Structure 1
Amino acid sequence: MRRGGRERSMGFFEHLDEMRGTLIKSAIVFAIFAALIGYFMKEFNEVLLWPLHYVQAEKPTLVLELGTTTVMEGFNVVIQMCFLGGFILAAPFILFFVGQFVAPALTDHELRMVLPLVFMAGLLFLIGASFSFFLLVPSTIRVSIEINELLGYTLRWTPGSYYSLLTWLVLGVGAAFEFPLLIVLLVYMGVITTAFLRKYRRHAIVVIFIIAAVVTPTPDPVTQTLFAAPLYILFELAVFAGARVEKKRNERLRAP
Structure 2
Amino acid sequence: MAKNKNTGGEMSFLDHLEELRWILVRSCAAILIGAVVAFVFSREIFDDIIFAPKRADFITYRIFCDLANKYDLDKSFCVTELPFAVISRTMDGQFSTDIWTAITAGLILAFPFILWQVWKFIAPALYDNERKNAVSFIVFTSLLFFLGVLFGYYLIMPLSINFLANYTISKEVINNVDLDSYLSLIKTTVISCGLVFEMPIIIYFLAKLGLVTASFLRKYRRYALVIILIVAAVVTPPDVVSQMTVTIPLVILYEASILIAARMNKTPKTTE
Shift of 1:101: 4.3
Aligned-partner Cα distance in 1 for 2:81–2:114 = 45
Moved more, 78-87 or 216-225: 216-225
Which residue matches 2:53? 51
Question: How many equivalent residue pairs?
Answer: 246
User: Residues 24 and 198 of structure 1: is their aligned pair in 2 closer, same or farther, counting only changes over 3 Å?
Assistant: closer
User: Residues 61 and 107 of structure 1: is their aligned pair in 2 closer, same or farther, counting only changes over 3 Å?
Assistant: closer
The runs of 5 or more residues in structure 2 that have no matched partner are 63-77
**1:85 and 2:105 aligned:** yes
User: Residues 2 and 240 of structure 1: is their aligned pair in 2 closer, same or farther, counting only changes over 3 Å?
Assistant: closer
RMSD: 3.5
TM-score scaled by length of structure 1: 0.77
Say if 1:144 and 1:218, in contact at 8 Å, map to a contact too: no
State percent identity of aligned pairs. 31
User: Residues 44 and 127 of structure 1: is their aligned pair in 2 closer, same or farther, counting only changes over 3 Å?
Assistant: same
Aligned-partner Cα distance in 1 for 2:103–2:224 = 35
User: What code does the residue aligned with 2:114 have?
Assistant: I
**1:239 and 2:219 aligned:** no
Shift of 1:132: 0.8
**1:9 and 2:9 aligned:** yes
Aligned-partner Cα distance in 2 for 1:9–1:246 = 32
**Structure in which a larger fraction of residues adopt helix:** 1
Moved more, 47-56 or 160-169: 47-56
Which residue matches 1:33? 34
User: Residues 11 and 171 of structure 1: is their aligned pair in 2 closer, same or farther, counting only changes over 3 Å?
Assistant: closer
Aligned-partner Cα distance in 1 for 2:133–2:161 = 40
Per-residue CA deviation, residues 16-66 of structure 1 (Å, 9 max, x unaligned), is: 665454343323222211112222221121222222224598633556442
3-state SS in 2 of match to 1:157: strand
Say if 1:136 and 1:226, in contact at 8 Å, map to a contact too: no
Shift of 1:90: 1.4
3-state SS in 2 of match to 1:66: strand
Which residue matches 1:187? 207
User: Residues 10 and 207 of structure 1: is their aligned pair in 2 closer, same or farther, counting only changes over 3 Å?
Assistant: same
Moved more, 111-120 or 64-73: 111-120
Aligned-partner Cα distance in 2 for 1:31–1:187 = 34
TM-score scaled by length of structure 2: 0.73
User: Residues 35 and 200 of structure 1: is their aligned pair in 2 closer, same or farther, counting only changes over 3 Å?
Assistant: closer
Which residue matches 2:145? 125
Aligned-partner Cα distance in 1 for 2:144–2:35 = 23
Say if 1:184 and 1:239, in contact at 8 Å, map to a contact too: no
The runs of 5 or more residues in structure 1 that have no matched partner are none
User: Residues 80 and 226 of structure 1: is their aligned pair in 2 closer, same or farther, counting only changes over 3 Å?
Assistant: farther
Per-residue CA deviation, residues 74-94 of structure 1 (Å, 9 max, x unaligned), is: 133112202211122112112
